[in-house]
Amino acid sequence: MRTLFVGAGATGGYFGGRLAQAGRDVTFLVRPGRAAVLAERGLRIHAPGGESVIPVRTVTADALDGPYDLIVLAVKSYGLDQAIADLQPAMGDRTVIVPLLNGMRHLDTLISAFGEDRVYGGVCMIAGTLTDEGDVVQMTGLHRLRYGPLDGGPDERLEAVAQALSGAEFESQPSAEIVQEMWEKWVFLAALGVVTTLMRATVGDVTAAPGGIEFATGVAEEAVAIASAAGHPPREAAVAYLQASLTARDVPATSSMYRDMVAGAPVEADAIVGELVAHARRHRVPAPLISAAWTNLSIYAANRQPSGASASI
């Protein structure tokens, strides 16, 4: 199955690189500068189990040759519009798009651009970043993909998509509840982002501070209440994982938004936190902590000086 990964950052580089390493037909759509780095150094993945140097095939937007059977979108939310513009030559009548973006609103954008029959849901879980040299760093052993039709129903292309995204070192599985999983990840990322960016600290630092556990618990409760009011209440296991993650002691956990903020890079505040605040207002759910974080992130974005490298989770 001819597969195009749009982006070779921490997320796309890791999953696409592992698939290329496993012999899958993978091409990366990247900017010229990134293509030059990958041609010179290869795609380098630093993982808990060691380093891999993977030769990869790249293409730039001006040379994109379509159609592709599967397109995996691994860009930040603020890069979505440009990605959609670049993708046009890659699209075929039966192409499947699996977006690995955070939040939910990108689905409407993609459906509007390419049609509902081409867009799956997608969830990735990985804590990763890029080095100054452009190498991918897998920060923990977590590396998981979920994907599937948005309605949860059968699709004759799903088996081929699953085969194309499987067989590498990470966990990969189709889901009949992909929208629910996307909401649960959104709630988790938003809450983790709020806790770490508003306090400018790791989870362990927050929980060690006076009132830190109460603060983190309040953020989790707000996020769950918003999703529930929007018609997507997180399941019991997801809520338990969220609460345990945000109240853990002596852990250096952070969010991608926090790491981007520390690096002076753009943050996905609008898609992850701002959109959740919009749901809170629409459904009249009190969310003072998440709203405060949204104001804080908006000030950061307005005053940010362009510099730094982005990270991904």
| Contact (CB, 8 A) for 2 and 70 | yes
Instruction: Quickly count: other Cβ atoms within 10 Å of residue 299's Cβ.
Output: 10
CA distance 84 to 80: 6
Active-site option among 106, 118, 185, 232:
185
The residues that bridge with 137 in the sheet, in sequence order, are 46, 129
pLDDT of residue 66: 85
Report pLDDT digits (tens) over 242-282.
999 999 999 999 999 999 999 999 999 999 999 999 999 99
Instruction: Give 306's pLDDT tier (boundaries 50, 70, 90).
Output: low
H or E segment to which residue 146 belongs? strand 136-149
Task: Please confirm, yes or no, whether 185 is among the known catalytic residues.
Answer: yes
| Structural tokens at position 300 | 């950061």
Instruction: Give 308's pLDDT tier (boundaries 50, 70, 90).
Output: very low
Tell whether the model's pLDDT for residue 91 goes beyond 90. yes
- Shortest CA distance to 104 belongs to which of 293, 272, 298, 280? 272
Q: How far is CA 52 from CA 16, 17, 167, 172, in A?
A: 13, 9, 17, 20
CA distance 288 to 6: 36
- Shortest CA distance to 79 belongs to which of 306, 313, 310? 310
- Shortest CA distance to 202 belongs to which of 249, 143, 133? 249
Tell whether the model's pLDDT for residue 310 goes beyond 60. no
Report pLDDT digits (tens) over 135-151.
999 999 999 999 999 99
Tell whether the model's pLDDT for residue 205 goes beyond 50. yes
pTM of the model: 0.93
Percent of the chain with pLDDT over 90: 95
Please report the domains of the chain, with CATH numbers, ordered by start residue: 3-176 (3.40.50.720), 181-303 (1.10.1040.10)
